[in-house]
Structure 1
């Protein structure tokens, strides 16, 4: 009998030990749930996410949050997704193919969480988001990819330079041509751009002018891979407009060799009057602007449109930085709750104030906005339609081919017709490849 009792005690101890090991493997230490939050470390840094983690822990004593990041975080995350050893919550960065992860069933659907009550508002969590931004992360009727900050994209101009010379920010392409000639006579480049990254020029010039020439349906057709959309008359017109600015010498010489910070330095030091960029510009160049001998002032406009164009001039380019909960996360419920806390109205307003950018949460711009965010926020609110280049996330190879065609146009290596024909050929290859999951812009 004594031997039997000893045996039972040993078995019980082994069971308890086994359970303890399992809990530890799931991320529990000292009785607390350990959440791993992995974030892309870019212009916004990691400090706000660290701050949010510490604030969350104050009211969730059973949770400990580890935040870490890297400028090339996707390189560390890819093998972990293959191995199934994933963080609980992640912003995987711009070079992670998150839509491929969705297709491979490696991303947690967010529907049940979005139907829960918001943190600090009497409504469902999903109703706190700007609808057009939340819907970007939908696939087959389910939410997978969650929006966080909202990057509005357009043109920035040098306020003091414009005032000194009596220049008016252009609303139409025709006004732009007249203005560029005036600016060029002063020895300043009318426009500079981030030539090493052609996506900036697509967003700043090509897409808005294609929409202006052909209406928003022309752009939707291209994203939806409709045959002939990428070399349609609307897209050809946009390419011709870019070539005209190039041939008239309105782009800064050497811009094709510049990266984002290089071209942005040219802008803030007065060597160029205008630049296409997103609302992260002020945050990204803050330190450099503080070192200038005199304060620098800039303001924002939507890209000038054709005076007789078909597209609504209020249409605004708006993209989001996205977060996901991996399907194999150890603590998905707690991860969703922490992200809900990070996107609460209170925290969203703090992010706007601290990071000089906008958020995907309705009402988060109801704060004392920095001067350079007032106009982007206004244009975002007034836009009848917002859009982004979703195809770049859906079809990575096609996206790179489209960028290469744009670079060739700006370099003068191809004609406008050859440029859009190359784009259409890239779309055709994607269209015919049955191994690539297809998406639609509604």
Structure 2
């Protein structure tokens, strides 16, 4: 979660892709603009500028004054993308900038880093992701995050006549906004939706379902053959919320999405789109179309059973393919698709949730701020973006970010095609970044719903209560989407 609160926690498998002709790169980098994702916000936390330690001499090629011989403390969430990409970056950084790195790859972000933040001794740069992510809104409220404007306004490595921010896919810095400041850089361009096996679908004679009725028909046929219809990562209800929230957004359009992000008193209770979306998801539960046992499984356990053809569909973001490299049969033919449509939906079938995930942060009290800022600036160069694509089988938020094309695996190729088909019909919720407590409460309600302990009406009630609670926080007035 993506970005996001629970995305990408998991296995460490990472694969390299062989280079192919540049023509493929054109498909790889053709992604929708997301101008309407821009969030309007005002206000801010402390404007105190931290004092840069390890300060060297600034120059055209060294805008932050990185000091050779200094050290950089790097912590990377070792989930679906692994951490080999960061090790490659660090090796390059040592050769070109003379900065050595202390590298920590872990899934225990909160456990390892919360004590360091509390003690005023944080790392220099952090990939703050996974199930144990330290919530960005919490860090911001505690005045522990650097405003990244200086990095975004610095000259681009590839074209110094441009600012770094002008080289990024539009809208991709929005999830890192807190009160109008970008305090987290969501680095990876991500799409979210449904996944299936092209091989299984071909064997069963199934076609990609564009309507909810067609989706349910495949689930019914799968069940009759001893196959689950939908798998989800039950122990992490973030994933089923991908399906639920996508259904609501596609049914009610951007207004339904913004109502949730803007904490509308009728975001859920009183919303026809929310009611239709949650009732549709509950149909899967009522009709017994869930993969048996999926409610009690972790993300990788559920995904692995899906890789074993024990379910027709699974919900996830585009880190799935890399996360499951070791578990995916060679001929599985992984495919991504948008959520199918309910009758009378405001958005077309091709509309997808798309944007940036995997938040990188620079703590205010980092000991080597110049190197941390320069490291992030170089992350947004073609060289480092291409290096990431090779190591992690995923795209970054850098426009034209791959130097020469890389051979895409089937799942990643299908996300590229889905992005091209979506065009401007993309959307992205921001409440998970702005209101983590609200997000957790909605996830808890979804967990109860999928386990059949509550029904849609109660889910709507609990989700609205979470919205109403967030709206009472005075800080919520500083975040708003137009």
Tell me whether the two structures share a fold, i.e. TM-score over 0.5: yes
Cα distance in 2, alignment partners of residues 324 and 413 from structure 1: 38
- Is the 8 Å Cα contact of residues 248 and 276 (structure 2) preserved in structure 1? yes
CA RMSD of aligned residues (A): 2.2
CA distance in 2, matches of 1:427, 1:438: 15
How far apart are the structure 1 equivalents of 2:400 and 2:377?
Answer: 16
Which residue in the other structure is 2:60 paired with?
none
Tell me the distance in 1 between the aligned counterparts of 2:258 and 2:410.
Answer: 33
1:412 is aligned to 2:452:
yes
Q: 2: distance between equivalents of 1:313 and 1:302? A: 7
Provide the residue aligned with 1:147 in structure 2: 186
CA distance in 2, matches of 1:131, 1:436: 24
Residues 1:123 and 2:159 are matched in the alignment: no
1:398 pairs with 2:438? yes
Q: Does 2:370 align with 1:330?
A: no
Question: Is 1:45 aligned to 2:85, yes or no?
Answer: no
SS at match of 2:331: coil
Contact residue 358 and residue 377 of structure 1 kept, 8 A: no
CA distance in 2, matches of 1:77, 1:303: 36
Q: Compare relative contact order (CA 8 Å, sep 6+) and give the higher one, 1 or 2.
A: 2
Cα distance in 2, alignment partners of residues 147 and 166 from structure 1: 39
- In structure 2, relative to structure 1, the CA distance for the partners of 1:435 and 1:144 (3 Å cut) is closer
Q: How far did residue 437 of structure 1 move? A: 7.0
- In the alignment, is residue 101 of structure 1 matched against residue 125 of structure 2? no
Q: Tell me the secondary structure at the aligned position of residue 117 of structure 2.
A: helix
User: Structure 2 CA distance, aligned partners of 1:440 and 1:100?
Assistant: 18
Q: Which ranges of structure 1 fall in alignment gaps of 5 or more residues?
A: 1-21, 25-29
Q: TM-score, normalised by structure 1?
A: 0.87
Is it true that 1:228 corresponds to 2:240 in the alignment? Answer: no
Matched, 1:353 2:393: no
Superposed CA offset, 1:137-176 (max 9, x none) = 1234332211212231111111111111221010111221
Matches within 5 A, 1:20-31: none
Residues in 1 aligned to 2:289 and 2:54: alpha-carbon distance in whole angstroms: 63
Q: Does 1:278 align with 2:289?
A: no
Write the distance in 2 (CA, Å) between the matches of 1:119 and 1:189: 49
Q: Is the 8 A contact 2:122 2:366 kept in 1?
A: yes
- Whether 1:111 and 2:149 are equivalent positions in the alignment is yes
Does structure 1 residue 259 correspond to structure 2 residue 298?
yes
Question: Structure 1: how far apart are the matches of 2:250 and 2:97?
Answer: 50
Displacement, 1:295? 3.1
CA distance in 1, matches of 2:138, 2:107: 21
**Corresponding residue SS for 2:335:** strand
Give the match's secondary structure for 1:148: strand
CA positional deviation for 1:376:
0.9
Equivalent runs, 1:208-247 vs 2, <5 Å: 208-231=246-269, 232-247=271-286
Instruction: Describe the SS at the equivalent of 1:157.
Output: strand
How far does the alpha carbon of each residue in 1:184-238 deviate from its partner, in whole angstroms, 9 at most, with x for none?
Answer: 22221222111111110110x2111111221121111111101111221111111
* Alignment-derived partner of residue 310 in structure 1: 346
Give the corresponding residue for 1:4.
none
Question: Are residues 75 and 96 of structure 1, via their aligned partners in 2, closer, same or farther at CA, if it must alter by over 3 Å?
Answer: same
Q: For each residue in 1:276-304, what CA deviation from the matched residue of structure 2 results, as whole angstroms up to 9, or x when unmatched? A: 11111111111122xx5x63221110111
Q: Secondary structure at the match of 1:131?
A: coil
Structure with the largest fraction of helix: 1
Length, aligned pairs only: 411
CA distance in 2, matches of 1:47, 1:353: 10
Q: CA deviation at 1:307?
A: 4.1
Higher Cα Rg, which structure: 1
Partner of 1:7: none
Aligned to 1:207: 245
- Alignment partner of 1:32: what SS? coil
Gaps of 5+ in 2: 1-52, 56-66
Structure 2 partner of 1:168:
207
